[in-house]
């Protein structure tokens, strides 16, 4: 299927509503100081130690290190025996690329069962690339918001280039870091090296990290713009620099980075002909992220994070302390009307998100349709509960997921839209 040229506007000249429009025209928008610092991160042959064995030797050694499941059933890095950051051979052996994809697929199966099942109906090449991209996003999130420690041979938080990077980002970011200093230094350093690995997908070297080995093949196969991937990492960094969002426009930028970029990358893999697909993919991501934010209000507040726009809360007399009060917020006279307005906004983006589906090939519709339908169902549950996201985590039961999955599979793969 012919693929959309990247010079198209993400919105095609149309507004979302009176308050928010598409984030960027990637060809024409001037880069901010932050974007210039982030986009300049790259990996070079001179900067790191490269693999010292040839492609032929790697294939011969394959039986020793090219497996993704350990003796105890654990997921293992198939290239863990290679103590080097990059591969400098002109071509990476296909056996290594296939194994890298296997690693990403197994990671997705273990850590995202729902997504895995929605991906598995895609054509083989699309399925493997989507899972490589999921693995890329998952690891970035695990670094930023979890206990995962990414490894980069020869890299540390004390390296001058890492120190220089995070000092520049801190200087250009609004306010001081909102996490403890040692955590900030460690997490920002790991994301800096994560960007270095990403740069290998757009350079003449190949990372020996299986996720980025698979991502390089995916990037080349589907011509995925680097800015989409860089922006996602930037969204992870945003969480270290702010824990409040004053306006909806501020929140929209965050949603775009951590969620809309996912939709934009996915449609490059699915393929599309109509430029409106990028507008709708952007809305698809915003809809799901806004839903996540409402569902996770209590959990986020416990970590001193309030993603709900402060100005919008204030319209209903809701303060930060009210949000932090947990279930007591249900007694606030402004909470229910605030939630109603918020859900109405979510539904505006949901309506645009579902317009994406007819623009995709039938074989590629199921995955985005399933995810959007699941989130739509969660939003409806919150609405029926009058905004009670405090008593229990709002989620779908296994039976509900099976019913919705069956409906979506028939509706979007076999019936006319």
In a domain, 232, yes or no: no
Residue 14 and residue 55 in one domain? no
> At which of 224, 253, 277 does a domain end?
224
Q: Supply the CATH number for residue 288's domain.
A: 1.10.600.10
Q: Residue 314: which domain range? A: 1-20+243-417
In a domain, 369, yes or no: yes
Residue 182 and residue 61 in one domain? yes
CA distance 319 to 393: 23
In a domain, 36, yes or no: no
386: left (phi over 0), alpha (psi -120 to 50) or beta: left
Tell which residue, 195, 180, 185, has the closest CA to residue 140.
Answer: 195
Residue 91 and residue 150 in one domain? yes
Q: What is the pLDDT of residue 4?
A: 40
Q: What is the pLDDT of residue 409?
A: 74
Q: What is the pLDDT of residue 404?
A: 73
Mean pLDDT by 10 residues, the chain (417 residues): 37 38 51 83 71 54 66 86 81 90 93 77 92 96 90 81 93 89 94 94 93 97 96 95 96 96 97 96 97 97 97 98 96 98 97 95 88 93 96 87 78 63
CA distance 24 to 253: 10
In this structure, how many other beta carbons lie within 10 angstroms of the beta carbon of residue 151? 11
Q: Quick check: 363 and 123 in contact, CB under 8 A?
A: yes
Residue 416 and residue 379 in one domain? yes
Q: Quick check: 23 and 282 in contact, CB under 8 A?
A: yes
C-alpha separations of 182 from 20, 177, 179 in Å = 36, 11, 8
Q: Which two tokens stand for residue 243?
A: 């824990």
In a domain, 235, yes or no: no
In a domain, 260, yes or no: yes
> At which of 192, 224, 256 does a domain end?
224
Residue 170 and residue 220 in one domain? yes
Q: Which two tokens stand for residue 309?
A: 């726009």
Q: Quick check: 15 and 283 in contact, CB under 8 A?
A: no
- Residue 336: burial class (beta carbons within 10 Å; 0-12, 13-18, 19+): middle
Residue 249 and residue 220 in one domain? no
Residue 299 and residue 155 in one domain? no
Residue 163 and residue 52 in one domain? yes
Helices 362-384, 398-413: inter-axial angle, 10-degree rounding: 140
Residue 135 and residue 207 in one domain? yes
Residue 188 and residue 104 in one domain? yes
Residue 220 and residue 248 in one domain? no
In a domain, 33, yes or no: no
**Predicted TM-score of the model (pTM):** 0.87
How many domains does the structure of the chain reveal? Answer: 2
In a domain, 231, yes or no: no
CA distance 417 to 280: 16
Q: Which two tokens stand for residue 111?
A: 């850590």
Q: Quick check: 301 and 295 in contact, CB under 8 A?
A: no
By DSSP bridging, strand 206-207 and strand 86-87 are antiparallel
Residue 95 and residue 152 in one domain? yes
For every residue of the chain, which 3-state class applies, written as one string? CCCCCCCCCCCCCCCCCCCCCCCCCCCCCCCCHHHHHHHCCCCCCCCCCECCCCHHHHHHCHHHHCCCECCCCCECCCCCCCCCCEECCCCCCHHHHHHHHHHHHHHHHHHCHHHHHHHCCCCHHHHHHHHHHHHHHHHHHHHHHCCCCCCCCCCCCCCHHHHHHHHHHHHHCCCCCCCCHHHHHHHHHHHHHHHHHHHHHHCCCEECCHHHHHHHHHHHHHCCCHHHHHHHHHHHHHHHHCCECCCHHHHHHHHHHHHHHHHHHHHHHHCCCCCHHHHHHHHHHHHHHHHHHHHCHHHHHHCCCECCCHHHHHCCCCCHHHHHCHHHHHHCCCHHHHHHHHHHHHHHHHHHHHCCHHHCCHHHHHHHHHHHHHHHHHHHHHHHCCCCCCCCCCCCCHHHHHHHHHHHHHHHHCCCC
- Residue 180: burial class (beta carbons within 10 Å; 0-12, 13-18, 19+): exposed
């Amino acid at each position: 299927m012919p693929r959309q040229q990247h010079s198209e506007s993400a919105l095609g000249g149309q507004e979302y509503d009176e308050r928010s429009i598409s984030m960027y025209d990637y060809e024409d928008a001037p880069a901010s100081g932050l974007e210039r610092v982030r986009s300049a991160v790259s990996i070079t042959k001179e900067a790191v130690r490269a693999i010292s064995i040839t492609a032929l030797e790697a294939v011969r050694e394959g039986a020793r290190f090219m497996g993704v499941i350990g003796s105890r059933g654990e997921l293992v890095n198939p290239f863990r025996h290679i103590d080097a950051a990059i591969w400098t051979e002109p071509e990476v052996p296909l056996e290594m690329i296939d194994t890298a994809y296997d690693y990403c697929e197994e990671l997705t199966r273990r850590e995202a069962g729902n997504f895995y099942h929605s991906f598995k109906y895609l054509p083989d090449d699309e399925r493997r690339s989507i899972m490589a991209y999921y693995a890329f996003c998952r690891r970035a999130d695990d670094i930023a918001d979890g206990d995962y420690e990414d490894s980069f041979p020869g890299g540390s938080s004390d390296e001058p280039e890492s120190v220089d990077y995070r000092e520049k980002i801190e200087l250009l970011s609004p306010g001081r870091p909102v996490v403890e200093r040692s955590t900030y230094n460690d997490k920002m350093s790991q994301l800096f090296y994560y960007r270095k690995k990403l740069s290998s997908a757009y350079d003449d070297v190949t990372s020996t990290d299986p996720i980025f080995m698979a991502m390089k093949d995916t990037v080349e196969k589907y011509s995925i713009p680097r800015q989409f991937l860089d922006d996602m990492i930037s969204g992870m960094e945003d969480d270290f620099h702010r824990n409040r969002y004053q306006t909806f426009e501020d929140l929209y930028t965050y949603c775009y980075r951590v969620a809309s970029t996912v939709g934009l990358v996915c449609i490059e893999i699915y393929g599309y002909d109509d430029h409106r697909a990028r507008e709708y993919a952007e809305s698809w991501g915003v809809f799901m992220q806004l839903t996540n934010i409402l569902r996770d209000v209590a959990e986020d507040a416990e970590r001193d994070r309030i993603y709900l726009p402060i100005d919008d809360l204030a319209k209903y007399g809701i303060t930060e302390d009210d949000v932090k009060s947990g279930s007591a917020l249900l007694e606030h006279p402004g909470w229910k009307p605030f939630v109603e307005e918020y859900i109405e906004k979510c539904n505006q983006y949901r309506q645009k998100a579902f317009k994406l589906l007819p623009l995709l090939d039938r074989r590629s519709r199921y995955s985005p349709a399933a995810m959007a339908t699941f989130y739509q169902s969660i939003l409806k549950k919150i609405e029926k509960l009058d905004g009670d996201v405090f008593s229990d985590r709002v989620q779908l039961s296994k039976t509900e997921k099976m019913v919705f999955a069956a409906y979506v599979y028939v509706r979007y793969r076999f019936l006319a839209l």
